[in-house]
């Protein structure tokens, strides 16, 4: 899913067909729904006294809220709004993967 998000975020990549975009959007939503609780759990478990971890945890929590807002939003009725929504979801998937990696110190597995 990370690769699909990166491909969608590539400014030089062509716009996917509407049906493909709809399918990718659904997959990105599934990935976000899986990543949000993972990032929340890992952020909660970080020690309070480690300044770097505290900053990372705070940033991760803000990203979780943004991801939730993206999940609450819909794609709209046209191709442009569907593309914009998919791009938002892709950015959030990529961002939550980075937060998970920073908080755990390990590369995240490909979400769903």
Q: What is the pLDDT of residues 38-89, one digit of tens each?
A: 988 888 877 777 676 677 777 888 888 888 888 888 887 778 888 889 999 9
Token readout for 91 is 């950015």
**Secondary structure of 57-82 in HEC code, one letter for each residue:** HHHHHHHHHHHHHHHHCCCCCCHHHH
CA 21 from chain center: how many Å?
16
pLDDT at residue 110 in the model? 54
Token readout for 49 is 């006294």
Neighbour-count burial of 46, counting CB atoms closer than 10 A to its CB (0-12 exposed, 13-18 middle, 19+ buried): middle
**Which of 106 and 75 is assigned the larger pLDDT?**
75
pLDDT tier, 93 (very low <50, low <70, confident <90, very high otherwise): very high
Eight-class DSSP state of 16? P
Eight-class DSSP state of 26? H
């Amino acid at each position: 899913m990370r690769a699909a998000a990166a491909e969608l975020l590539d400014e030089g990549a062509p716009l996917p067909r509407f049906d493909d975009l709809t399918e990718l959007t659904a997959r990105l939503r599934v990935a976000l729904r899986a990543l949000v609780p993972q990032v929340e759990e890992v952020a909660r478990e970080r020690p309070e006294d480690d300044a770097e971890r505290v900053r990372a945890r705070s940033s991760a929590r803000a990203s979780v809220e943004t991801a939730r807002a993206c999940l609450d939003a819909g794609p709209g009725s046209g191709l442009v709004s569907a593309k914009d929504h998919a791009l938002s979801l892709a950015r959030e998937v990529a961002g939550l993967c980075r937060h998970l990696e920073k908080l755990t110190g390990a590369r995240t597995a490909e979400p769903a």
